[in-house]
């Protein structure tokens, strides 16, 4: 470098004796350095698999400093909705988490910041799940003993959603039991009770609430409206038995006393709650289309397959997968696929997903090149076979890695666009297809308005959807 700086003539610099051999040696040494670096980063990622979801540069920035607060800016990539960790005095311990909406909770056991970053971050992940499991148990237990309005304000957002659904499931099954014992109006009485609860919630929305409490109530109204609509359908169609498909096909929440854990059931599937911190990130309005999509995805997961929602843009393919993950308390990581993805990058992503029990949603999966897809199909098959055999560890990409049974792989596709590859048949066989159509905008608008406290939401929703439909047809696009 010094010689070249002294004499800047290109021919002289290149034709010096031994220069070519010198450059070759440097190139080989650089390759060795890069290989060693990627192996070092791999050991860190295997120790804390969520590091697979950030780039090499971001991981090096975390590893290259002794300051534990350097992880803060990457928290939203590492966890579903944890914007920041709450550090104790002198940054020597971690005492809790805060979501991007400002909601937070305190760990039951303080996590000391000791040793390498991957070891104490593993401690943070484990403590998050332990604390949220305890908080969830307390929330479900206190529901029956506390006035509902107070319970909603006191509990975390994710606890109010899951806890109220546990009790909705129990009260529905209790109504079925009472019908069996001769009380013919039990289900109708429960439908009236749910309507009253919704009236209380809309009253709360109109009252004085903090920003956090308002978001909680808005989201709870969205899920409660769906619960009430299901019970109204049961009353209308005279569904009298808990074994009927109309009830079996719903996403039902149970607190299992034997396992001392929260479980979800749909059709023949049984799933354990993930206890990923969700904050107050809201939920989708659940329409008949969403319900059917949930049912297909949960059935696919029961048979250890993936889910493949397909349909035009704007039909809610990715959002429905993310919403089901929120309902189950599981982290969902969305990846936008393109021609640049190779099988090594996909292998790294899969390694991260299966080790930390997260769901991966691969958007526009059919944009990946056909040669890469053939290798990806064998990688996915390997993971699915390990899940079917209930293995806790398995060989993947030449390494033995841990397997969390909550892991799931989902792909979304826009069919019929230019530059899209047709999926090979062996890959199609690993996924259950779901065709998504344009959602019912009027119903969604009605429930959104209702969750904000509007009583005449039905009439307003009709006016709003007609207005926007006219605007879409009559007005030109402004860029």
Provide mean pLDDT across the span 45-70: 89
Structure confidence at residue 12 (pLDDT)? 67
Residue 479 has pLDDT above 60, yes or no: no
| pLDDT value of position 421 | 67
Report residue 399's pLDDT band, with 50, 70 and 90 as the boundaries: confident
Q: What is the pLDDT of residue 49?
A: 92
Q: How far is residue 467's CA from residue 369's CA, in Å, rounded to a whole number?
A: 42
333-376 per-position pLDDT tens digit = 999 988 878 888 899 999 999 999 999 999 988 888 888 888 99
C-beta of residue 244 within 8 angstroms of C-beta of residue 188: no
At residue 166 the predicted structure's pLDDT band, cuts being 50, 70 and 90, is: very high
Task: Find the Cα–Cα–Cα–Cα dihedral 225, 229, 232, 233, rounded to 10°.
Answer: -170
Cα Rg of the chain, angstroms: 26
How far is it between the farthest Cα atoms of the chain? 101
According to the model, what pLDDT value does residue 334 have?
93
Under 8 Å between Cβ of 424 and 301 = no
pLDDT digits (tens, 9 = 90+) for 93-126: 999 999 999 899 999 999 999 889 999 999 999 9
* End-to-end C-alpha distance for the chain, whole angstroms: 51
Q: Determine the pLDDT at residue 311.
A: 87
Whole-number average pLDDT of the chain: 89
Residue 316 Cα distances to 363, 414, 421, angstroms:
12, 12, 22
Q: If pLDDT is split at 50, 70 and 90, which confidence band does 420 have? A: low
**Residue with more model confidence, 1 or 260:** 260
Q: Which residue has the higher pLDDT, 313 or 77?
A: 77
């Amino acid at each position: 470098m010094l010689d070249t700086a002294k004499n800047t003539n290109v021919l002289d610099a290149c034709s010096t004796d031994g220069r070519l051999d010198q450059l070759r040696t440097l190139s080989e040494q650089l390759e060795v350095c890069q290989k060693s670096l990627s192996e070092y980063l791999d050991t860190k990622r295997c120790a804390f698999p969520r590091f697979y979801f950030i780039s090499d540069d971001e991981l090096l920035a975390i590893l290259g400093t002794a300051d534990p607060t350097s992880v803060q800016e990457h928290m939203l990539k590492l966890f579903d909705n944890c914007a920041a960790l709450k550090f104790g005095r002198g940054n020597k311990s971690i005492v809790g988490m805060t979501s991007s909406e400002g909601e937070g909770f305190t760990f039951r056991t303080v996590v000391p910041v000791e040793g390498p970053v991957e070891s104490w971050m593993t401690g943070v992940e484990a403590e998050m799940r332990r604390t949220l499991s305890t908080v969830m148990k307390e929330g479900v237990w206190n529901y029956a003993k506390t006035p509902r309005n107070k319970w909603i304000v006191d509990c975390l957002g994710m606890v109010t959603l899951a806890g109220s659904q546990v009790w909705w499931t129990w009260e529905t099954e209790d109504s079925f039991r009472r019908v069996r014992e001769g009380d013919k109006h039990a289900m109708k009485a429960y439908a009236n009770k749910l309507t009253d609860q919704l009236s209380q919630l809309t009253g709360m929305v109109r009252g004085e609430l903090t920003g956090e409490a308002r978001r909680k109530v808005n989201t709870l109204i969205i899920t409660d409206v769906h619960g009430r609509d299901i019970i109204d359908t049961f009353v209308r169609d005279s569904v009298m038995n808990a074994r009927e498909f109309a009830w079996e096909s719903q996403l039902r929440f149970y607190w299992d006393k034997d396992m001392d854990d929260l479980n979800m059931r749909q059709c023949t599937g049984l799933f354990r709650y993930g206890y990923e911190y969700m904050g107050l990130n809201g939920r989708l309005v659940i329409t008949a289309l969403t319900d059917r999509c949930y049912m297909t995805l949960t059935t696919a997961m029961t048979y250890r397959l993936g889910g493949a929602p397909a349909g035009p843009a704007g039909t809610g393919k990715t959002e429905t997968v993310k919403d089901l993950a929120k309902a189950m308390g599981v982290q969902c990581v969305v990846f936008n696929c393109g021609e640049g993805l190779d099988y090594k990058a996909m292998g790294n992503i899969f390694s991260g997903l299966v080790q930390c029990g997260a769901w991966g949603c691969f958007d526009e999966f059919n944009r990946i090149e056909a040669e890469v897809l053939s290798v990806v199909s064998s990688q996915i098959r390997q993971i699915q076979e390990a899940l079917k055999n209930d293995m806790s560890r398995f060989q993947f990409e030449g390494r033995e890695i841990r397997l969390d049974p909550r892991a799931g792989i989902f792909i979304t596709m826009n069919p019929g666009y230019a530059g899209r590859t047709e999926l090979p048949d062996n890959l199609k066989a690993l996924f259950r297809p779901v065709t998504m159509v344009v959602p019912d905008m009027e119903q969604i608008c009605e429930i959104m308005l209702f969750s904000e406290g509007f009583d005449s939401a039905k009439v307003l929703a009709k006016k709003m959807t007609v207005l926007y439909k006219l605007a879409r047809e009559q007005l030109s696009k402004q860029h």
